[in-house]
Amino acid sequence: MSQPNLTPVPELYVSYESSQKLKAEAGDLVSHDLSPRQICDLELLMNGGFNPLTGFLSEADYDSVVDTMRLTSGALWPMPITLDVSEAFAEDLELGQDIALRDQEGVILATMTVTDRWTPDKAREAEMVFGADDDAHPAVNYLHNTAGKVYLGGPITGIQQPVHYDFRARRDTPNELRAYFRKVGWRRVVAFQTRNPLHRAHQELTFRAAREAQANLLIHPVVGMTKPGDVDHFTRVRCYEAVLDKYPAATTHMSLLNLAMRMAGPREAVWHGLIRKNHGCSHFIVGRDHAGPGKNSKGEDFYGPYDAQDLFKQHEEEMGIEMVDFKHMVYVQEKAQYYPANEVPEGDTILDISGTELRRRLAEGLEIPEWFSFPEVVSELRRTRPARSKQGFTVFFTGFSGSGKSTIANALMVKLMEMGGRPVTLLDGDIVRKNLSSELGFSKEHRDLNIRRIGYVASEITKNGGIAICAPIAPYGTTRRAVREDIEAFGAFVEVHVATSIEECERRDRKGLYKLAREGKIKEFTGISDPYDVPENPEVRVETENVEVDNCAHQVLLKLESMGLISGKSI
Ligand code: PPS
């Protein structure tokens, strides 16, 4: 079982001639523009990474995978790979019809014969696959708030691989890796899955894992989609390249996997194992809390720390890939070397730096010792993630019309400009509606679009090291959360709830709009005839009744200071 058969896995691509013909005829087909996650899924479907799947799951296979982790054929498959689309798109299709699947530039990648169309029970999918119907889980959040309402299923005809312009030489299909292993004579290969930069402990543990399994090592990082907030893959790959030099020559290979992770813990571990099996590996490293999604909305872990290892072990034989335990490695000061945590000589001093502590040190520009990480890795991380006081960030005010958002936002802007150092942009509700969103009204759809536009501009400002101050009403919690996720990829997101009550806003009625709303002359008016989701955990909540504007802005400044975004001296 530990020596895989390295003959090719089936791919879904057609010949070059057929693909040219399909491309020429595709103009007549209805097109679906794939989302970034669907592009990742399609790539692995087409290149055999998701073997034995031959397309997006049919309804019967979906039900079977959700309930039993198996396809209707009986084959083990833990993750529903589904093509989600909008109701409007699904409505016009007929079963049996071929559709073109295109990337975001409109390039055709595949066609699919639609054999199935159904509206899934997403709450059930969340419970069964991810363990809880809780939006704190990134994949459950995606399921409810990003994925379309309808699923389509059917076989895929592959035309071409998605184009990647980055790290081309480091990307391999399953068959390319299999051919490589055949060529260099590697019969036993341990794969290491990762979505984080590698530090010395990882290098030690992967090296040991390979030695114990008497195998070669494949560093197989995910560069498709990982957990929101992770270090971007460009930085990570530069870090991995630096670490590769530290392994003994010709023992280790690195290849990038364009997988969209779901952070589904135990089911994900089994899925990862099957994918690595398809890539020609004989062993797979599974650690504590493999592909863990973080805490649920009650602050508890979604899965037990060893659930992933247990589930993997149960299916190891059937999968034909052996699990290698991930040893927690710690640095022993007296011996100046790494040991597995359970083999530390008695009385010796253990040094360790947790992930949270590492992020703090990076954020504050503090020293990171050489025993912990390689200097090349640290300098890469510092280059992309300068200290927080030098990064861009977004302050996002939300509250009723007339609550005082714009006034406080203006005061904050002036104070930040007085401090200097970073450019400041104010995206006030009224300014945005005049310049960016002049065609929009106040329906839920239009408000969401307005907020997504503000979020997009703010994320660009944040990415480029500036300060964005936004001050729309932003009444919907899910939209605010989506904007937070977009921005947190680049810097901090500071939500400020201006908690002036609706009664007080109406009493002030600065623009006379509440009167008109009461008279029914303005429809869908927030707080009067339209909803407002009160933020549950904003970074700051300011009360404005009987409090000076200056004081409100100061509360925000203090928060920015406590988050390390501005220096305390300047307040
Ligand atoms: S949203 O919901 O975030 O897209 O709204 P926003 O872009 O901040 O726009 C709010 C301003 O538009 C005026 N206005 C209304 N507000 C709420 N509901 C309705 N129906 C409405 N119609 C017009 C109002 O003056 C808001 O200004 P602010 O600055 O919040 O007082």
**Tens of pLDDT, residues 8-39:** 999 999 999 999 999 999 889 999 999 999 99
At 259, give phi and psi (nearest 5°). -100, 145
State yes or no: pLDDT of 5 exceeds 80. no
- List CB contacts of 144: < 8 A, sequence separation 6 or more: 122, 126, 135
Report which of 84, 485, 65 is spatially closest to residue 294, judged by C-alpha positions.
Answer: 485
Query: Is 526 a pocket residue for ligand 1 (Cβ < 6 Å)?
Result: yes
CA–CA separation, 520 vs 290, rounded Å? Answer: 55
Separation of CA 114 from chain center: 28
Mean pLDDT taken over the chain: 95
Tokens of 325: 């335990």
CA of 546 relative to ligand 1 center, distance in Å = 24
Ligand 1 in contact with 557 (CB < 6 A)?
A: no
Type of residue at 100: A
Q: How far is CA 173 from the centre of its chain?
A: 22
Tokens read off for 360: 């703090």
> Residue 391: what are its φ and ψ, rounded to 5°?
-85, 160
**Which residue has 């960030």 as its token pair?**
393
| Residue 372: DSSP 8-state | T
Q: Which residues of 206-223 are buried (b: 16+ CB within 10 A; e: fewer)?
A: bbebbeebebbbbbbbbb
| Residue 397, ligand 1, Cβ within 6 A | no
Identify the three-state secondary structure at position 121. coil
Kindly give the distance from the C-alpha atom of residue 501 to the centroid of ligand 1, in angstroms, as a whole number: 16
Active-site positions read 194-196
DSSP state of 257: B
The pLDDT tens digits for 533-564 are 999 999 999 999 999 999 999 999 999 999 99
Asked if the model's pLDDT at residue 385 lies above 80, the reply is no
What's the 471 CA to ligand 1 centre distance in angstroms? 10
Measure the CA–CA gap between 7 and 2, rounded to whole angstroms: 15
Q: How far is the CA of 400 from the centre of ligand 1 (A)?
A: 8
- Give the global pTM: 0.76
Distance CA 411, CA 469 (A): 11
Contacts of 204 (CB under 8 A, 6+ apart): 329, 338
Helices 444-463, 477-488: inter-axial angle, 10-degree rounding? 20
pLDDT digit string, tens, across residues 321-368? 999 988 788 999 999 999 998 999 999 999 989 888 998 898 888 999
139 phi and psi angles, rounded to 5 deg: -75, -30
pLDDT over 70 at 570, yes or no: no
| The token pair that represents 414 in the structure block | 């002036």
Task: Please tell me the distance between residue 436's alpha carbon and the centre of ligand 1 in angstroms.
Answer: 14
CA-closest residue to ligand 1 atom 30: 401
Neighbours of 555 (CB within 10 A): 16
pLDDT tens for 54-108 read 999 999 999 999 999 999 999 999 999 999 999 999 999 999 999 999 999 999 9
Ligand 1 mean position to 541 CA, how many Å? 20
CA 265: distance to chain centroid? Answer: 15
> What count of other Cβ atoms lies within 10 Å of the Cβ of residue 562?
11
Q: Does the beta carbon of 458 sit less than 6 angstroms from any atom of ligand 1?
A: no
Residue 430 burial by CB count (10 A; 0-12/13-18/19+): exposed, middle or buried? Answer: exposed
Is any ligand 1 atom within 6 A of the Cβ of residue 152?
Answer: no
In the prediction, which pLDDT does 14 show?
A: 95
Determine the pLDDT at residue 355.
84
pLDDT of residue 176: 98
The CB of 401 under 6 Å from ligand 1? The reply is yes
Nearest atom (ligand 1) to Cα of 399: 30
Summary count for the chain: helices (H), strands (E): 20, 20
Residues 400, 147, 51: CA angle, nearest 5 degrees: 155
Q: At a CB cut-off of 8 Å and minimum separation 6, what does 83 contact? A: 32, 38, 56, 112, 151, 152, 153
Instruction: Judge whether 189 and 216 are in contact, CB under 8 Å.
Output: yes
| 442, 483, 508, best to mutate for ligand 1 pocket (most atoms within 8 Å of CB) | 442
Q: What is the Cα–Cα distance from 359 to 366, expressed in whole angstroms? A: 10
pLDDT in tens, 118-171: 999 999 999 999 999 999 999 999 999 999 999 999 999 999 999 999 999 999
Q: Give the distance (Å) from ligand 1 centre to CA of residue 429.
A: 7
Pairwise CA distance, residues 453 & 456, whole Å: 5
Segment holding 177, helix H or strand E = helix 174-184
Q: Count other Cβ atoms within 10 Å, centred on residue 82.
A: 27
Question: Looking at residues 468-490, what average pLDDT do you find?
Answer: 95
Instruction: Say if ligand 1 is within 6 A of residue 406 CB.
Output: yes
Give the number of the atom of ligand 1 that is nearest the alpha carbon of residue 440. 4
Ligand 1 in contact with 475 (CB < 6 A)?
yes
Is 524's C-beta closer than 6 angstroms to any atom of ligand 1? yes
CA neighbor of 161 nearest in space, from 46, 65, 69, 299: 46
Of ligand 1's listed atoms, the one at least distance from the Cα of 523 is 20
Nearest-angstrom CA–CA distance, 224 and 469 = 31
- pLDDT mean over 482-497: 94
pLDDT confidence band for 2 (50 / 70 / 90): low
Q: C-alpha 150: how far from its chain's center? A: 22
What are the C-alpha distances in Å from 548 to residues 470, 543, 553? 20, 10, 9
CA pair distance 372, 429, nearest whole angstrom = 46
Pocket perturbation via mutation, ligand 1, pick of 430, 439, 479 by most ligand atoms within 8 A of CB: 430
Ligand 1 atom 13 nearest Cα:
401
Q: pLDDT by residue (tens digit) across 505-535?
A: 999 998 999 999 999 999 999 999 999 999 9
Which pair of structure tokens corresponds to residue 503? Answer: 């009664």
Closest CA to 224 of 271, 279, 166: 166
Distance between Cα 502 and ligand 1 center (Å): 14
DSSP string across 388-407: GGGS-EEEEEE--TTSSHHH
Helix axes 265-278, 307-319, angle to 10 degrees: 30
> Ligand 1 in contact with 403 (CB < 6 A)?
no
Residue 430: pLDDT band (50, 70, 90) is confident
CB 141 less than 6 A from any atom of ligand 1: no
- What confidence score (pLDDT) does residue 218 get? 98
Beta strands in 141-254 (DSSP E): 150-158, 189-194, 216-221, 252-254
In short, whether 78's Cβ falls inside 6 Å of ligand 1 is no
The helix/strand/coil state of 541 is strand
Cis peptide bond prior to 52, omega within 30° of 0: yes
| Cα 81 to Cα 51, 58, 397, distances in angstroms | 12, 10, 38
Ligand 1 atom nearest to 524, measured from its CA: 20
CB 201 within 8 A of CB 186: no
SS3 at position 373: coil
Give me the half-sphere count of Cα atoms (radius 13 Å) on the Cβ side of residue 376: 13
Q: What is the DSSP string of 285-336?
A: EE-TTTT---B-TTS-BSS-TTHHHHHHHHHHHHHT-EEEE---EEEETTTT
Q: What is the mean pLDDT of residues 465-492?
A: 95
